Structure 1
Amino acid sequence: MTVSLGAPSRVVSSHSALLRPTSSRTAPPGGPVLPDPPAPTSRQLGIVAIVLSATAMGAAGLFGRKATPDGAVLGEALTLGRMVVGAAGMLVLIALSRRLGHLRRTRLSWSVVGGGVLLGLSLATYLSATVLTDLSRAVVLHYLGPVVATVLARILLKESIRRLDALSIGTAFTGMLLAAGFVGDNRAGGEHETLGTVLGVASGIFYGAALLCYRYRTDMSSDARCFWNFVFGAVAAGAMVLATRPDMSGMTAGHWIWAGGFFVVCGLFALGLLVVAGKHLRAAELSGLSYLEVVVALLIGMMAFGESVTLLAAAGAGLIIVAMALPMFARR
């Protein structure tokens, strides 16, 4: 494995627009490979990818609840399955497109390895946090990630944070606090509140760092990047499974069917498109649009599980929708 961030080579593919890489700028010796500003067509592809990805990610609660027996805690195990199925699915797609040779020739770098590992850790710690603390608090702490990614992109990649970008992120984060019930909720925390909060913060930091990693190595085709992202995510989730040793003895055939849907929809589809979006959008745009997941989860909870939506939560969802639209009006 070559761990390097040297000047990337251009890769041209005619299979699909999703596989078309963007160009890169080479920083001074020893520095990172800095991505060029996305072209108009590339930017539109990134917007479509993140909207579809966030929608599928928002359905994770539905699949996760249906796949989990009563009283069980299977977050790490479901995350591992999510990554393994994603890696296998990408390998099949690459083989069908006769690009296995390209995959073997693709050099790895720390950003590719780190992106997968960090995402696996983020999803595993987030699911654990939802068990140990209030769901609203876990969601809020997890979505520190886009803010972390935007700040790090400003420091490390020198990406500009326009006033419209800052307004979008701030509006989305405020709306997310309201939609998750974090504002105006005086419920007392559980006995594992401290550990849950720590895991939630870790989830947000891991998620933000993973989003930042997707802005490196834009020379790598999306199919190869997705495959390695799933592989190293599975490694991280597998380590969590070994540490927690979840009990899966209560799973029935119905649970496994829902788990399979979770692996495909929230794994291969959602996380694969997240990598595509990360290649074609600036961190600020990716951050604002990713908050769509909160709105989707809110609607699914209301329609599938009869969860009540307060006036503050509805107002928060409205703010998120407004924030999502703001990056689309940014000057290209």
Structure 2
Amino acid sequence: MVISALAFTFLNVFVKSLNNFSVYQIVFFRALGSLFFTIPYLLKNKISLLGNKRGLMIMRSIVGLISMSAFFLSIKYIAMGTAVSLRYIAPIFATIFALFVLKEKIRPVQWLFFGIAFTGVLILKGFDDDTEIQFLGVILALTSAVFAGLVYIFIRKIGSADHPVVIVNYFMMVSVIIGGLLSIKNWVHPVGKEWLVLMSLGVFGYFAQLYMTKAMQVGETNQIAPLKYLEVIFTILIGLIWFKEVYTLWSLLGVVLIVLGLTLNVLTKKK
């Protein structure tokens, strides 16, 4: 999980550094890089690329694409640590959606922990001097979290009917097609090291997901899951050092409340 958190962190850093490229072109290369891993894996193991629940996988891919695009755009407006923290409230939206769509139950104490996390969101909402840019970045990060919550619902609906890599491959294929089409108008031709940075997005994204999955397979969820929030700490540290991002005591308090609320939620959930 630590390796996964580091991989996600470097993905965030490289996206933040690609100021010359549109979010759609970044999405295109992020997905293209991952396809170099998913397609060979499926072919090698003779797993059908088309899968079974195709409609649900397409819908999962679309909401995932919206979530990814909104998040990548948000870190261009607000500090990376703030954006990551806001995106991580996706499990709250997923739980609420599951309550109505999947008829799952929520333990009463979970509402308290959700309240702690949302208090952190409210504190983060207004710490930047440029309130208009700050507000836009926060809205984009929250939009990413809402659609990430929907991703969880679609994955639950798909269940074990399709191999996890087939689901990811659908997501990457849809992202390559839509991201590529939307980036044609404002396409910027990469030069030199930009090629390496753009292609590395897919590599970091793929291994981040891979090691997170492996961690969940070999460890107890309530012990392993909280470690994914190390991404917030790693991202804040690199943001401070690399991009000279500024965090006030209020913004750090907001981050702490979000991570605390979500961690307590994971620890109290039933297996």
Render the CA deviation track for 1:37-69: whole Å, top value 9, x for unaligned: xxxxxxxxxxx5xx7655533333311234x25
Render the CA deviation track for 1:158-217: whole Å, top value 9, x for unaligned: 121223433333333433554xx4244453425x977x7775565444332223212122
SS at match of 2:157: coil
- Range with bigger deviation, 102-111 or 135-144: 135-144
Render the CA deviation track for 1:237-269: whole Å, top value 9, x for unaligned: 234324xx33423x332222222222210x222
Partner of 1:211: 152
Judged with a 3 Å threshold, the aligned counterparts in structure 2 of structure 1 residues 246 and 293 are, in CA distance, closer, same or farther, namely farther
TM-score of the superposition, structure 1-length normalised?
A: 0.64
What is the distance in 2 between the residues matched to 1:307 and 1:105? 43
1:246 maps onto 2:189 in alignment: no
**Alignment-mate amino acid for residue 210 of structure 1:** V
Task: Give the unaligned 5+ runs of structure 1.
Answer: 1-47, 280-284
Larger Rg over CA atoms:
1
Partner of 1:182: 125
Select the residue among 219, 244, 260 that pairs with 2:199.
260
Structure 1 residue 99: Cα displacement:
1.7
Tell me, yes or no, if the aligned pair for 2:79 and 2:245 is still in contact at 8 Å: no
SS at match of 1:103: coil
Partner of 1:302: 240
**Alignment-mate amino acid for residue 58 of structure 1:** T
1:1-332 equivalence runs, <5 A: 48=1, 53=4, 55-66=6-17, 68=18, 72-95=20-43, 98-100=44-46, 102-104=47-49, 106-131=51-76, 133-134=77-78, 142=87, 145-176=90-121, 178=123, 181-190=124-133, 202-219=143-160, 220-242=162-184, 245-249=185-189, 251-265=190-204, 267-271=205-209, 293-326=231-264, 327-332=266-271
Task: Give the unaligned 5+ runs of structure 2.
Answer: 218-222
What is the distance in 2 between the residues matched to 1:287 and 1:170? 20
> Greater relative contact order (Cα 8 A, min sep 6): structure 1 or 2?
2
TM-score of the superposition, structure 2-length normalised?
A: 0.76
What is the distance in 1 between the residues matched to 2:177 and 2:242? 33
More helix by share: 2
Tell me, yes or no, if the aligned pair for 1:130 and 1:138 is still in contact at 8 Å: yes
What is the distance in 2 between the residues matched to 1:121 and 1:89? 22
What is the distance in 2 between the residues matched to 1:224 and 1:145? 23
Percent identical: 22
What is the distance in 2 between the residues matched to 1:234 and 1:278? 28
SS at match of 2:202: helix
**Alignment-mate amino acid for residue 48 of structure 2:** L
Q: RMSD between aligned alpha carbons? A: 3.8
